[in-house]
Structure 1
Amino acid sequence: MARLIVKSPYIKCGGGQGASGYMKYIATRERVEIIPDDRPPTRKQEQLITKLVKDFPDTKDLLEYESYTQHPTKASASSFITLVLEENRSQVQSSEGYARYIATRPRAERLGDHGLFGDEDSVDLDKAMGELEHYTGNVWTHIISLHRVDAERLGYDNAQAWRSLLRTHRNDIAAAMNIKPQDFRWYAAFHNEGEHPHVHMMAWSVEPGQAYLSRDGIRQIKSSLTNQIFKQEMLHLYEQKSESRDELVRETRNAMLELSRQMSESVCEHPEAERMILNLAQSLEDVKGKKSYGYLPKSLKRKVDEIVNQMEHLPVVDRCYQKWWELQCKVNDFYSGRERQRPPLSEQKEFRAIKNAVIQEAEHVRLNHISFEDREMEDNGDWVDERSLTWTCRELRRIIEDETFPLEERDEAAERLELLAEMGDPYAQTFLGQLYRDGGLLIPDAEKARYWLEQAAKHELPQAQYAIGKLLLSDDPDVHDPSEGIRWLNAAAQNGNDYAAYALGKEYLRGEHVPKNANTAAEYFRQAAEAQNPWAQYLLGKLYLMGEGVGQDQNIAYGWFRAAAIQGHTYAQFLKERMEQGQPGPPGLLLSVTQLLHHMGSIFRDNVPEDSTSTGLHIDHKRLQTLQEKRIALGHRPDDHVEEQNMGGMTMGRW
């Protein structure tokens, strides 16, 4: 594969050491004799290469070493030895063995006085060396190398091409080295030898101590030069691969969406991860201040990383991460000289949010936090059986809900419904309030929704009382009225609405709009549970398992879990099975891995690649999440009409 190699050692100047000698060397050194490529390396060359590799292990990254190992000849050995000695000149100058080789290496023809070039059209070697004579900072000695076949094919087998390239990107190189453009100084020389013609570039700042070159900086230099050198080939490559790459993105996107969906819906048992989360939770007891990854001591960061890597062993997580990783490797394959190993999930910056999700779940375990797991709950609290409706109201609802009817007919039905509501029909008032609440056929209007739902609630209609209670507890500033919301939920619960009783139980557990009271919460959950509400049965089982608001009793807890599981409640079934296995434990700990897996599903979904070929309205994920949260606050299921939202369509909520 065509590729560029960049090595960036540096010379530390000052204290009697300078870089001017190195500059003279690269500017005037002899062009190494190109020896016929069929003779084997000499014994001295082999011995010297063994020593060089031992003394300077990173030289194995050079193209010259790759050529030598693949084709060990006298010429490839000479090219490798020469470049390694040049790269590490400051370290080998005092070594007699190295110095003897430099002094006795094969001679070759000279190319003028010197080959140094820089920003100026003509370089005075003595003047350039004088700039470094008393310099006290670090001077980087970049070595930029190509395969000869690539250099000849792309026109980089001469000094003029390299001078033009480095002049064009001198500011990019300066930025990568954290040097201001006006302070950047550089000179270079092109060595056209062997199978890997290369450039020696000396770079420094006029302000000693200003320059700093990290691994990321070296990658930036390499990327900038690669983009220019291989520009035409890359354009051709992109044209050839665009269709297959788009298909790869589509396949990866679909696979990741499906796998993240599985994560968000899975109930997972992982005792080892649970043990590690419990250990982290206990350790967090001693942490003062903000409990987020960046603020934790190193010992706890290691525990968090270990949990993330343990979660990576789950098949669904491993497959999702692998899909994402394969796409990244494919997109970046032009810059990679070797196959990259997938790093542990804890080291992947794009997924660092998982670490704080781990800490969040450990905190929930430490604080004995009660979660509800009701994101998938089908909320029927405001559903009115059509058998309770008058014939007129039932017909109007049928027309309004049926999108196959012409819009004019549906609009006319909505007008007639409003007339019926004004005449005092509580069911028409409820339906009209829901239409204004949910939008779709009618423009959403929270104040009108409140008015009509309150009118129906005053008729002691429990579904309307529940709906207005949920609306007033929502975050909509136009109608937010928690005390009134609680009052209407109480009224609905007293009238037998089990969803209102369940909602009140949650309110008393949270303590946000009413004083926190686990005993009162348990009473409301019991009312809803006895009305066969599986979500309340599940929560009541958790309270008995934990001893919150009720006496701790595993037998009663098991009974409520069993009742909810019979109705298809997934989490109740999970906890029931754990109890049957003799693993009761705190529910928060037993569900911690499941909750963490759900967080990971959301984080992976946030990193799903965009499909550049998709058309139609696109809603940003965070914006969609905000809209979804608002709909949930207004009483909708989390997945209610998600597909229609993504498509830009509109639809009405249930009545």
Structure 2
Amino acid sequence: MTAPFVMIAKFYLPTHENQAKNVAHLVYIGTKSEVDRGELNELEELDTGNKYVENILSKYESLDDFIDNFEINTAGTPAGHVKYMDERPGSHGLFSSDENVSLKETMKELSKHSGIVWRFILSLKEEDAVKLGYTTRESWEKALRATISEAAAKMGIPESNLRWVAAFHQKKGHPHVHVVMWEKTPQRRRGKLSKGETKDIKKVFLNEIYAKERLALTAEKSAVRDLIRDTARSDVVDVLRKVESARVKVRALSGGKAGLPPTLEPHIREELLEKLKELSKIMPQKGRIAFAYMPEEVKEKAKEITDWLLKQPGFSQSVKRCKELAKELASHYTSKPEALEKAAEKAYEDIQKRTAQIVLKGAAALQEEKAVDTARLTNSVWRSAWRALERERLRAEAESTIAAQREMEKKRKMAERGESREI
């Protein structure tokens, strides 16, 4: 079992070696060199994922030389062979209390910093991140801007003397943020956080992350309590049944959120890009990008790419679930095997058309005259296809839940009528 929320804190004293490591770590979290070991306990190791950057540093005469020659270009290949921040899935660059953060200027600042630097990793299990709405950079950015100054205050660092940057990594299984924190004017001499400080800082983050859920639970409890209080005692059981029925419907129809997309592996990315290029060559150069209006040759190619995409790990499981749910829904009206299979096929065709539309838009982008960031493009197609598929799955699960509830209610009423007839 893993904790729903994990906070790891480390500190680095102002040695020349640590200054270089801090710069390397900044490059790592800001440009996201992928580290994938699969389990939550890898978070202890993520902090060392920048070793390849440190190896690059060793090839330069000095840290200043590395920083002066460090550049990021839109082709995705910065000096020093550091991967561009948008080339890999889930990396969203650096953010802070300032609207714009310069990676290069922050690297320069940390390379000269004479005080302690603290690094934090804050992580949620994917299921909790989805439920709480912490699967995007924007949500974490908002949360950190609301809490960092208070967390720093628990360390005795006033907001006026605080500097920090962070980066969100959309890691499958445990989305997380890396936070780097330091003082403008070094004052604190003790790097290690006491147990009390660690507990207080963690509480600051937890209060913000779980704020909406606590508020919703409190409101729900109050509403149910008031309803029970205002209802005649003899009607309480029936009222509670109706309340629970309404809860299920609301949660099913509006509470579902898509999980994180499967990792887009480099070889799959290249294959997807080649397929999109092939499609772009046979697509019309002008006109509306809509599957229904495409020539038959283009439709077939788009469906071929879509079928390939929907068979990828992660996608295939979700497709299978959608087909199962379609059969479950159909089973409320028929028991014929051919009718159930037809319902599953119809569900797949709907998913296929929605995904094919996304594939077409991706291929159309390659037809534009301006330079296209192919890494960003393939990421966009991959994630958009995943979200479309997940929306269909969630909708189908909602309908299945409601249908099952209606069936139970129907049986209950039939049973009640049967009892009354016996009396």
Instruction: Give the TM-score, by structure 2 length.
Output: 0.40
Which structure carries more relative contact order (alpha carbon 8 Å, separation 6+)? 2
Instruction: Give the TM-score, by structure 1 length.
Output: 0.26
